[in-house]
Amino acid sequence: MRGEQNTARKAITFAVGTVLAAGMFLGDAVPVRADQTKVTIGTARDMQLGAEIGMAKHKGYFAEEGLDVTVAYFGSGAEMTSAMAAGQLQIGSFGDFPTVNMIAADLPVKIISAMAEISGAQQIVVRDGIKSPDDLKGKKLGLMVGSSSESLLRSALDHYGIPVESVELVNMRPPEQVAALARGDVDGLAVWQPFVLKAKSQAGGHAMLSALKSYIPGMEGDLDFYAAYALLVARNDFLAENPDTTKALLRALYKAQKYINANKGETATTMKEDMRAPESDLRVFLEESVYDMSITPKLVRTLNNSVAFMYAAGKIKTRPKIEAYIDSSYLKSVGQALVK
């Protein structure tokens, strides 16, 4: 779901042009109407982005709030951002890089909630024989340039004092990274779930670290040099026209969050068909993500860091301040403590 920045940016540019052109004919008037109760939420078939949405649907939490919700599963972040830009999707769960891409393209959207901290699902996986950060010197590492995986790898190298010039970075998509590791064409990779699990089970790799924990022998423990989030993003026109529906959606998702955290085994069983993955895999993903809808200083800091990285990498042309694109008022109605 994450990455694919060039494709996403082209799609957004086209869609924004379409929306602006339409506005020339429609004018500025916005029809006033009651909150809608039928809503489509976009997400992906992974537990980082789709867990609360899927469980709120299955457990009837949306229905309890008087909503008729359809869950639309997208194949990529580029597809979902394009749909949001064109107005075909009003609300969805996005990774932080696609979210920054939309904001930098000046789409009329707001972040209204976190869905999860997904730092644990971002990992550096290496072949046998590589144990310490120093062992990475002179090695080939696969990643998707301009994505969260590159940001994670560069942050890790800086954290351990390894010059990035001492490592050969090989640009490739996640499925290609797994295949390259299995063939021995690369010595490791930086990627997200479910490709982390595939790199371990299909390519014989082992985790050196995630964005939350170090598995380096003698250097095990918690890490805090990098983070990643799943976010709930909505179009401004949807929020303006549907304030009560937005609050009801968040209440349902918050119920799902609490259920997931207390019932991860049952969640994996319930979501296996939606995710098209074995329960055992889903349980791994559930344990690696922290399901918390709170808007926190760490989240804001992380997103601003993502803006800086993407701008430096030439993936976005502006450096927006994330604070201007967060509307916490709806989440506050669910619980004041959720906005820190």
CB 51 within 8 A of CB 267: yes
How far apart are the C-alpha atoms of 324 and 316, rounded to whole Å? 17
Looking at residue 25, what is its pLDDT? 30
Looking at residue 329, what is its pLDDT? 97
The CATH architecture one would assign to domain 120-222 is 3-Layer(aba) Sandwich (3.40)
Question: What percent of the chain lies above the pLDDT cut of 90?
Answer: 86
3-state secondary structure of 97: helix
How far apart are the C-alpha atoms of 112 and 294, rounded to whole Å? 10
**Alpha-carbon dihedral of residues 24, 30, 31, 37, nearest 10 degrees?**
120
Looking at residue 148, what is its pLDDT? 87
Tell me: the pLDDT tens digits for 81-115? Answer: 999 999 999 999 999 999 999 999 999 999 999 99
Q: How many whole angstroms from its chain centre is CA 179? A: 23
Residue 177 has pLDDT above 90, yes or no: yes
94 half-sphere exposure, CB direction, 13 A CA radius: 31
For the record, the structure tokens of 291 come out as 């399901």
Q: How many whole angstroms from its chain centre is CA 259? A: 21
5-118+228-338 CATH, one of 3.40.50.1390, 3.10.180.10, 3.40.50.1700, 3.40.190.10: 3.40.190.10
Identify any residues that bridge with 114 across adjacent strands, giving them in sequence order: 231
Domain ranges for the chain, please list them.
Answer: 5-118+228-338, 120-222
Q: Average pLDDT for residues 5-30, to the nearest whole number?
A: 38
Looking at residue 284, what is its pLDDT? 95
Looking at residue 5, what is its pLDDT? 43
Could you tell me where the DSSP H helices lie in 160-263?
174-183, 195-201, 236-241, 243-262
CB 206 within 8 A of CB 179: no
* Nearest Cα residue to 321 out of 100, 112, 114: 100
Residue 140 has pLDDT above 50, yes or no: yes
Question: Which amino acid is residue 148, in one-letter code?
Answer: S
Residue 254 has pLDDT above 90, yes or no: yes
CB 294 within 8 A of CB 115: no
Same fold, 5-118+228-338 and 120-222: yes
How far apart are the C-alpha atoms of 291 and 261, rounded to whole Å? 7
**Alpha-carbon dihedral of residues 64, 70, 71, 74, nearest 10 degrees?**
-160
The DSSP line for 114-170 is EEEE-GGGEEEEE-TT--SGGGGTT-EEEE-TTSHHHHHHHHHHHHTT--GGGSEEE
Looking at residue 76, what is its pLDDT? 83
